[in-house]
A and B are shown apart, each in its own frame.
Chain A
Amino acid sequence: MRTGRRGFVLIATTIVLAILLGLAAIVVDAGRMYLIKSELQAYTDASSLNAALQLDGTPTGQEKARKAAKELAGGDHPMKWDMGSRPIENVQVYFDQPTQVRVVVAVQAPVIFLKAMGAIQANASLVSASSIAASGPPRLVQ
């Protein structure tokens, strides 16, 4: 009887712990992913503008733009991700139009709980941000 009661508390605690772990998965990992998304979006916004300023319609301008798109990840005050702890790498730069630049950054968020629970596939923790900027007089970009 004694051991039976003790078992009940153990089981109840285990169930509550499992629920809490699920909650932790949502709060901690999803929260972290949203945070990373914000950081990456701030980066691509700034980076695409920095790149667009270099565009002049020539291939040389595009080369300069490619370099400029990566510039803000370095220097004295680099923009970073994961609460400002990891450097931004793999900056992808596309020129969909001659005077337009699209900057894309994608990272694998370092999730812990979601992975531990086996709830997600390998690339479900992919977080990406993308921004488009154009050079020339102001106009609406679709």
Chain B
Amino acid sequence: MSGRRGTALIEFAGSLVLISTLFTGVFQLGQSFYTYNRLVNAVRQGARFASLQPGTAASTGIVQKLIVYGETNPAPTASPLIAGLSERNVQVIIADRKATVVIRDFILSGMFYSPKLDGKPSVTFPITGAGK
């Protein structure tokens, strides 16, 4: 009787490993999509902000701060909106009457899969600031 119960327990443990691995995998993948989505929106917002400054007046530092902290003048103690993102991960290019923001060397950390984002997401807006 106790032997049978033990067998069931072992089988249950086996299936639990399988199921929890799957569950974690799905959770992680969802988390990656969510983080990437936030990155796309932050980069889009930053590029649009830069494109609203006249000519080449957009300041790289301010755009980087906006993307990382969500505001152009964050408190010194502010923490990034997206975990692990810092200003050196954000490349701002103002050239040819376009404002481009590209994410560089950012690791989208996950338990099983941690892709390195270099060159994406990338958003370009044409400069529409007055006085171009």
Residues of A within 8 A of B (CB): 1-2, 5-6, 8-10, 12-13, 16-17, 20, 23-24, 27-28, 31-32, 34-35, 38-39, 42, 45-46, 49-50, 53, 72, 75, 77-80, 83-85
Contacts and interface: CB of A to CB of B under 8 A. Distances in A.
B123 A20 contact: no
Contacts of B36: 35, 83
Given A16-B19, A20-B19, A5 B4 contact: yes
Nearest to A84: B120
Nearest to B45: A42
Interface residues of B, number: 38
Contacts of A31: 29-30, 33-34
Given A39-B121, A45-B48, A49-B51, 14 more contacts: A5-B8, A9-B11, A13-B18, A20-B22, A23-B26, A24-B22, A39-B40, A42-B44, A46-B125, A46-B126, A79-B123, A79-B124, A80-B120, A84-B121
Identify whether the interface residues of B are mostly helix, strand, loop, or mixed. helix
